[in-house]
Structure 1
């Protein structure tokens, strides 16, 4: 699936792990962002090798905009492990993520309901540990202008909710601004209007930027 068709989607920021204990059973949720099914399968196999002595290595993953969904109970009663793990991913509306929940049996049976709750809770805590983020498709807009217009331009950028990615101070000043791809044409026109055309402005790239749930820029990736 090509994410470039999506203006925004949710995923996880990085590898994360969380552990819970339920009636002496140990549940370890390992979470990783992935972009292909092969990456997900490789991660699952890596965890199965790492926790080769575990009672179960349950997994679930979603690749793309719900294009690929897979799960496994890995020997747990049907519907008590893989599906609850997958449902947590879907409830959070995440994609491009794989979750492996490793269980070391503690000697006490949890029952079907107990297993559903334990796997669901473990998966949720793993996702939180990995960091739930938004990936937003943005155009990187280059603006070159003289210093007399800098304040006006900066105010317009901030008030419009866009992000200044970089500023280069030379004889003139050059700003690189990350603008939602759907809003870039309007942004360019606004810049021309407020400066009476006294800017050199162009789109130099399109890329996804990672934003946390509070709107803070975490990183960006070129395309």
Structure 2
């Protein structure tokens, strides 16, 4: 992944279940927008599984995964939240919360067993989730006269389809010409400028900064 890109996230909530020495573990992995959203998910799981003995959690939010939290929820310190968080970090995911609800089966698992069980539960959920790649796109506005607008739009759209890493918004036409907003991956920046040079038409280019966009969900 190029430097500066945000971490991946997941497309939809997933739920998996496992049993370890008669203890039942249900893992919920849910995409979230922020910490408040994550707390709401945790509260909802607690309400749904109110009879579970533990609801251990781990969450990562922010483009760079800079905000992280975990909770053992009365399990021995370091045996639940930390290994759950380690799985999320190892998978390079952000804007997700994991909640693992446990029903005690009568057999003590020990610290090592708990660590493996909670980490494994989140690992199963991550494996079942549809991953969404997010990339930081560079945005520019291209202004051209009416006489060149049609030609430019056609070439831009053809180029965007071929690269697979660019997007051309619908042109906005005004009294003096048209404006096309183009979002492209950083590695395609030079190709865009080369295309414009080959067209040989007068244009004005305005840098609109960057934004994070979701790319198609990976299979």
Shared fold (TM-score greater than 0.5)?
yes
| 2:175 corresponds to 1:179 | no
Q: Against the structure 1 CA distance between its residues 190 and 28, is the aligned structure 2 distance closer, same or farther, given a 3 Å change threshold?
A: same
Q: 2:48 aligns with which of 41, 47, 50?
A: 50
Aligned to 1:220: none
Larger of the two Rg values belongs to structure: 2
Aligned to 1:41: 39
Distance 2:199 2:162 in 1: 16
Number of residues of Structure 1 aligned to a counterpart in Structure 2: 209
Distance 2:212 2:65 in 1: 19
Aligned to 1:162: 165
Aligned to 1:190: 194
Aligned to 1:27: 25
Q: 1:12 aligns with which of 10, 13, 22?
A: 10
Q: Against the structure 1 CA distance between its residues 73 and 208, is the aligned structure 2 distance closer, same or farther, given a 3 Å change threshold?
A: same
**TM-score of the pair, normalised by structure 2:** 0.75
Q: Indicate conservation of the 8 Å contact 2:153/2:180, yes or no.
A: no
Q: Which runs of 5+ in 2 are unaligned?
A: 172-178
| 2:96 corresponds to 1:91 | no
Distance 2:38 2:155 in 1: 47
Q: CA deviation at 1:101?
A: 0.5
| 2:67 corresponds to 1:68 | yes
CA RMSD between the two structures: 3.4
Q: Indicate conservation of the 8 Å contact 1:164/1:175, yes or no.
A: no
Distance 2:67 2:150 in 1: 50
Q: CA deviation at 1:125?
A: 1.9
Q: Which runs of 5+ in 1 are unaligned?
A: 1-5, 169-173, 217-223
Q: Indicate conservation of the 8 Å contact 2:35/2:61, yes or no.
A: yes
